[in-house]
Copies of this chain bind each other. A is one copy, B any other.
Amino acid sequence: MTTRSYRRQDCPIAYALSVVGDQWTLLLIRDLLSGVHRFEALQKKLGLSRNLLARRLKQLASQGLVTRDPLPGTKRFAYRPTPKCEALWPTVLALAEWGQAWRGNVEGTRVEITESDSGKAVGVRYCRLEDGREVAPDRIVVERIRP
């Protein structure tokens, strides 16, 4: 990736954006996470230039977000998300919730999150780590701690 000036910022958000913060990467990750693993399929689904897709995949591989696995018996490949990539699910879903809530009354495709066994609706929220209870947005405090 490029050496943007914000990479030098000492901030986990800046770090995260230096890895996944360009125009296509989070959309690419959305598709990798939802089971699209092949070059052609990704290119067709996203509509970005093959050129750039190849570059992005290399970058993601070099950052440890995807692996490039040869499909057995062929010369073809599957790009599979690693745990580092899967850990972006909450980010992607937080974006999806925001998009749904604020895109106006466009009746488009929705993203629904449910609990696997009960089928009950789930959202990306704040939780106390201690006991897993939800905390309302107006009761949270965000601090930056410098080492």
A27/B14 in contact, CB under 8 A:
yes
> Taking each of A22, A100, A125, which has the highest tally of chain B beta carbons within 10 Å of its own beta carbon?
A125
Cβ < 8 Å to B, chain A residues 13-38: 13-17, 21-24, 26-27, 30, 34
Binds B, one of A54-62, A66-74, A101-109: A101-109
A127 beta carbon closer than 8 Å to chain B: yes
Q: Which of under 10, 10 to 19, 20 to 34, or 35 or more describes the interface residues of A?
A: 35 or more
Q: Mark A107-125, 1 if CB is under 8 A from B, else 0.
A: 1111111111110111111
How far apart are A43's CB and chain B's nearest CB, in angstroms? 12
Contacts of A121 in B (CB 8 A): 128-130
5 closest A-B pairs by beta carbon, nearest first, are: A12-B99, A132-B134, A16-B99, A125-B127, A91-B94
In the docked arrangement, what's the CA distance between A133 and B134, Å? 6
B140/A96 in contact, CB under 8 A:
no
B124/A126 in contact, CB under 8 A:
yes
